[in-house]
Amino acid sequence: MTTATRIRACKWITGLLIGVALTTPDQALAGKGASYQSIANAIATGNRDSIVSEIERSETLPCAPCIDLVKPLIDHDDAAVRDVAAWWLGGRAVRDKIRDEMYARLSGTDSVKARNAAEVLGRFGHPAALMPLEIAIHDDTLSEEARAASATAVGRIGDYRGKAVLEAAMTSESAAVRQAAAKGAREIRGNLEGVALLELLHDDDEAVVREAALSVGAVRELSGVADLIDVVSDVNLSATTRKHAAWALGKLGDGNARDALRSIVEGDRDMIVRGAARAALNTLR
């Protein structure tokens, strides 16, 4: 090897090691640069983007009074603003106080506040919230939206211990809760099993079926092939639902689904369902 070749060949890794510390123009430092006034002004715009980006920039700003600015945003009309507020508060010592307030909301009667509380706890991400969320899921005094938000938060937290919470929620009389639980199941870290989802593939509510199909595919529940074939072949279901079932069959990869998928490709009335089945066929073993 010549010296020239050697030098050239080695540049990439030593370049990596150097770290390219040179500053570029307008370098944005993550989580820095905001102030109390800039947050207040951003909130005054009412613009989601402005609020979100300014609160992001105040990630590490040591500003106790800013809590009074940000905390009300957890009840903002815009979900993105609620989320960034929860994120900001979740990184601060006031978090535990707010967590306790959210627990109280979940056991209260104001369903909108309970919904927002569930979102905050989901964003905080601490598994300690699983129990109060589980109680809220089954609290008939709360609205469906709040109870579903609680199930969503369990998925958001993603802790494996939440799997059992969601499986219990899948038996709820509320379709919204069952739907959220089915969706949350694929968010659980380490979840490689979805037997509890299979019953939801025959749910009366099609939105539940749709989410269950996606989760069966996402967690690779291999015993779900026959149920998914039932769904993809059910012409009474919407194209969206059948499409999701076709995708899930492709994700499972079981060759036993081949005939059913071929039948869909050849005869389904909807072009997108045919497309999903065609793509799924290309993924079977």
Window 159-178: residues binding other proteins (CB under 8 A): 159-161
| 82 vs 78: CA distance, rounded Å | 6
User: DSSP labels for 202-245?
Assistant: G-SSHHHHHHHHHHHHHTT-GGGHHHHHHHHH-TTS-HHHHHHH
**Number of residues in contact with other proteins, rule: CB under 8 A?**
109
Closest C-alpha to 188, from 165, 222, 212: 165
- 26 lines the binding site for other proteins (CB under 8 A): yes
- 45 lines the binding site for other proteins (CB under 8 A): yes
- 188 lines the binding site for other proteins (CB under 8 A): yes
Task: State which of residues 125, 143, 199, 206 lies at the interface with other proteins (CB under 8 A).
Answer: 125
142 vs 247, beta carbon nearer other proteins: 247
Instruction: Tell me the window of 135-143, 146-154, 185-193, 223-231 that interacts with other proteins (CB under 8 A).
Output: 185-193
Task: State which of residues 107, 145, 158, 263 lies at the interface with other proteins (CB under 8 A).
Answer: 158
In Å, what is the CA distance from 71 to each residue of 65, 68, 120, 254?
A: 10, 6, 11, 50
Per DSSP, the chain holds a count of helices (H) and strands (E) of 17, 0
68 vs 259, beta carbon nearer other proteins: 68
If one counts every other C-beta atom within 10 angstroms of the C-beta of residue 44, the result is: 10
In Å, what is the CA distance from 167 to each residue of 41, 73, 278?
A: 44, 32, 32
Q: For the CA atoms of the chain, what is the radius of gyration?
A: 24
> Which residues are CB-neighbours of 92 under 8 A, at least 6 positions away?
67
> How long, in residues, is the chain?
285
Task: Write down the least CB distance from residue 274 to other proteins, Å.
Answer: 7
Task: State which of residues 40, 104, 112, 131 lies at the interface with other proteins (CB under 8 A).
Answer: 40
Task: Write down the least CB distance from residue 227 to other proteins, Å.
Answer: 17
Q: What residues numbered 200-259 form the site for other proteins, per CB under 8 A?
A: 214-215, 217-220, 240, 243-244, 247, 250-251
- 278 lines the binding site for other proteins (CB under 8 A): yes
CB-CB contact of 233 with 209 (8 Å): no
- 64 lines the binding site for other proteins (CB under 8 A): yes
* DSSP designation for 1: -
42 vs 142, beta carbon nearer other proteins: 42
Instruction: Tell me the window of 28-36, 142-150, 171-179, 197-205 that interacts with other proteins (CB under 8 A).
Output: 28-36
- 262 lines the binding site for other proteins (CB under 8 A): no
126 vs 258, beta carbon nearer other proteins: 126
7 vs 235, beta carbon nearer other proteins: 7
Closest C-alpha to 133, from 163, 108, 158, 103: 103
- 33 lines the binding site for other proteins (CB under 8 A): yes
